[in-house]
Structure 1
Amino acid sequence: MTNRTAVHVFVLRGFSADPEIQLLSAAALLLVYLAALLGNISIVATVTMDARLHMPMYFFLKHLSLVDTCLVSTTLPRALVATLLGSGQISLPACASQLFAFVCLGSTECFLITSMAYDRCLAVYRPLAYGAAMSPRTCASLVAVAWASGLLYSAFHTANTFSLPFCGPNVIDHFFCDIPPLMRLACADTGVHEAAGFAASGCIISCFALTVLSYVRILATVVQIRSAAGRWKAFSTCSSHLATVLLFYGTGSSSYMQPTAHYSPRQGCLAAVFYSILTPTLNPLIYSLRNKDMKGSLQKLYLQGPP
């Protein structure tokens, strides 16, 4: 008779089964983590202290950097400590808490990215009405809705995942508690739970669709601008955000938009490194390198000189 003892402790496999590769990857990702913290905290501090950046675009960027700081801190520190200590054990409540925090922050980022696309669309398509439409109250409301939606979305997915029975094996082929590898460990039919998860993910798909529509409108407006300099100026204000959209959705969709039966642990772990670690790390670079005002403010923050 099959042993169906309930699992109370999981074991995270980590970045690799090879101890040498584990240590090498942990050392590399520690540097990436420190870079992510430095970049995102710098943007939060710069936008907060520099009055010239108190505009809707930078207001959303500040909250995106705050979310990215929390997102990368939800998974990576524990994985690095587990690698150094040689133990990836995590209790069931801790695993559920990690999943809740990760999904909440990841979905909040989706909603913020949609708000940023809407902001850029109004700035290009309706420049005369932009100031009135994107008032401080409107921006604060959009951020509040993003956080509230993220909390509700995460609560559903956490309950949907951990309502399944887990009765061994208890080794998660990942470096943190995520939905696809956990679904693979359930000792019950996951069909209904997967269908419910895909249905709930419709709001994320809607966010992506709205983001795409915003950029279709932006491109249609940019094409109508007669001067090449004007077209480049209009598009350059959106190119950084577009790079973030492609990086975030491009890597995340490969893990979540497929049935559990087709899920590959190796590909899932690699994709997770991109959307949960590298994307939060690259966002500050993407936004600061292409933005003269941001570069000037960062220079003033660190060098105490004129921007």
Structure 2
Amino acid sequence: MANATMATEFLLLASPDGWDLSFLYFTVFPITYLGTLLGNLLIVTVTTADQNLHTPMYFFLRNLSILDMCYISITVPNACVNSLTGNRAISVAGCATQIFLVIFCAYVEMLFLTIMAWDRYVAICQPLQYPLIMNPQFCVHVTLASLLSGLLYAVVHTGNTFRLSFCQSNVVHQFFCDVPSLLKLSCSDTTSNLVLLLVSAVLICGGCFLFIVMSYIHILSAVLKFPTGNSSKAFSPCTPHILVFSIFLSSGAGVYLRPSEESHTLQDMVLSTFYTMVPPFLNPLIYSLRNKQVKEAMRRIILSRITYITQ
């Protein structure tokens, strides 16, 4: 330790050994990023412009779309620029900022998806009390609570990571800075970090997972009592939500909870791509293409614009 050189910057890994991922950085990543921005911007525009969509469900969907645009912007543009310029270096401060923002957005995304499950539960299982429970004040307060607790959560994990000494290799085996990759580079005792990751994952991710599962069990039991046509209509908004949450949680757990000795760089990069890029990309697609209200709102807005232009 006395002769060790402390890391002053990190080098992000462009491609694992034996793999050429330039196709991803020059085609798949930019297309996914632009598609995510355009799709989520469309959701935000439609749910804001159409008065019929000023409901709690679309309030949370709008917030989720804004969060997704920020979430994917933390990692993908930087990875594409690094691949284009060949400059893989990132400062310690830049790495800490990236980790903080990724953890914050992932945490808030988890809470937003959980709140949306609660919204569907109240709407289907307690429809008469829905306006009282999901009132505007509650929606704003629970959103602010999610953001503030996300800031605290990100500060704790980021601070606990960068109190360590990084005096081994400075090559981060990932296309962005994340906690598991940095823990492998530390020459300090990382036991407390691993325990904190495990405890927070069990309490927060496991808690959100159980809450969503219980919500959909009650929703499904209530929907089965509806007539056939009404049951499929009532449950249709829930299907995309389950899909997005499953991808997000399973891929994130695969990166953060897998033992380091069983970790492989390519698998880590693929899983990280799934939990940082796929949910933000899928959200606008499944919520707009599968949602009749959103499609009708888009049609009304387009027709109104055409009418305005032709007059």
- Normalised by the length of structure 1, the TM-score is 0.94
Percent sequence identity is: 37
212-221 or 259-268: which moved more?
259-268
Residue 20 to residue 199, structure 1, CA distance change in 2 (3 Å):
closer
User: Any idea what the Cα deviations from partners look like across 1:223-276, whole Å, max 9, x if unmatched?
Assistant: 222x21121121113112122211211221111122333322211110111111
Deviation at 1:305, TM superposition (A): 5.0
Q: Give the equivalent residue in structure 2 for 1:136.
A: 136
Deviation at 1:93, TM superposition (A): 0.5
Could you list the per-position Cα deviations for residues 99-146 of structure 1 after superposition, in whole angstroms to 9, with x for gaps in the alignment?
000100110000111100000000110011111110011111111111
**Whole-angstrom distance in 2 between the partners of 1:204 and 1:183:** 21
- Partner of 1:53 in structure 2? 53
Paired letter, 1:133: I
Given that 1:23 and 1:84 are in contact with CA atoms closer than 8 Å, whether structure 2 keeps it comes out as no
TM-score by length of 2: 0.93
The answer for the alignment partner of 1:258 in structure 2 is 258
Contact 2:205 2:249 in 1 (8 A): no
SS in 1 for 2:10: strand
Q: Secondary structure at the match of 1:185?
A: coil
Question: For the Cα contact (< 8 Å) 2:16–2:265, is it kept in 1?
Answer: no
Q: CA deviation at 1:163?
A: 1.2
C-alpha separation between the residues in 2 aligned to 1:152 and 1:248? 21
User: Residue 197 of structure 1 corresponds to which residue in structure 2?
Assistant: 197
Partner of 1:93: 93
5+ residue gaps, structure 2: none
- Higher mean Cα deviation, 193-202 or 157-166? 193-202
Q: Quick check: 2:25–2:79 contact (8 Å CA) kept in 1? A: no
Uncovered stretches (5+) of structure 1, i.e. residues with no partner: none
2:146 alignment partner in structure 1: 146
Pairs within 5 Å for 1:1-307: 3-16=3-16, 21-201=21-201, 202-225=203-226, 227-301=227-301, 304-305=305-306
In 2, distance between residues paired with 1:15 and 1:43? 34
Which AA in structure 2 matches 1:204? C
- In 2, the alpha carbon distance for the partners of 1:51 and 1:154 equals 35
Find the aligned partners of 2:285 and 2:46 in 1 and give their Cα distance. Answer: 14
Number of aligned residue pairs? 305
Spell out, residue by residue over 1:52-96, the C-alpha distance to the aligned partner (whole angstroms, 9 max, x if none): 110010000000001100000001111110000011100000000
C-alpha distance in 1, partners of 2:210/2:183? 27
Question: CA RMSD for the aligned pairs?
Answer: 1.8
Is this contact kept in 1: 2:197–2:256, CA < 8 A? no
Deviation for aligned residue 1:19: 8.4
Superposition misfits of 4+ residues, deviation over 6 angstroms: none
